[in-house]
């Protein structure tokens, strides 16, 4: 397999895992939603199996992410990985109620004070 293809597959695999975790799903839960076997999800996230176009679309819909992000279409800088993580975290934060969000903010403030 050419090196560029390996890099692309690894990037997609990493984004699949990141999106699944941000969605708060286990591999087993994802497999059920995707009508796949759990080992298939594991192989996809490890980059050992290619994704079909229809699978990419289904993962994007299941995780609530854009296909372009999933396939790395918008990679302009080295900071994209960090930016992507922030976007996924923000999506998770938006689902918290006010009380939990306040608790989380206090935790962040205490972590900053410990530096």
d(CA 73, CA 75): 6
Selecting from 3.40.50.300, 1.10.260.40, 2.60.40.10, 3.40.50.620, what CATH number does the domain 3-113 have? Answer: 1.10.260.40
Give residue-wise pLDDT tens across range 57-86. 999 999 888 888 888 876 544 445 556 667
Distances (CA, A) of 24 to 37, 38, 109: 18, 16, 24
State CA 54 to chain mean position distance: 18
Distance of alpha carbon 67 from alpha carbon 78, whole angstroms: 20
> Does pTM surpass 0.85?
no
Q: Note whether 86 and 92 are within 8 A (CB).
A: no
Q: Which tens digit of pLDDT belongs to each residue from 15-57? A: 999 899 888 889 999 999 999 999 999 999 999 999 999 999 9
Q: Domain coordinates of the chain in residue numbers?
A: 3-113
Residue 92 reports pLDDT greater than 80: no
């Amino acid at each position: 397999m050419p090196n560029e293809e390996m890099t692309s597959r690894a990037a997609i695999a990493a984004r699949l895992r990141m999106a699944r975790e941000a969605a708060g799903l286990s591999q087993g839960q994802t497999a059920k939603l995707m009508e796949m076997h759990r080992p298939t999800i594991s192989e996809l996230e490890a980059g050992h199996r290619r994704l079909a176009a229809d699978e990419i679309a289904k993962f994007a819909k299941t995780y609530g992410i854009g296909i372009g992000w999933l396939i790395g279409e918008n990679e302009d800088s080295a900071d994209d990985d960090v930016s992507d993580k922030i976007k996924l975290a923000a999506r998770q934060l938006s689902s918290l109620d006010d009380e939990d969000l306040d608790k989380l903010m206090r935790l962040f403030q205490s972590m900053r004070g410990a530096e």
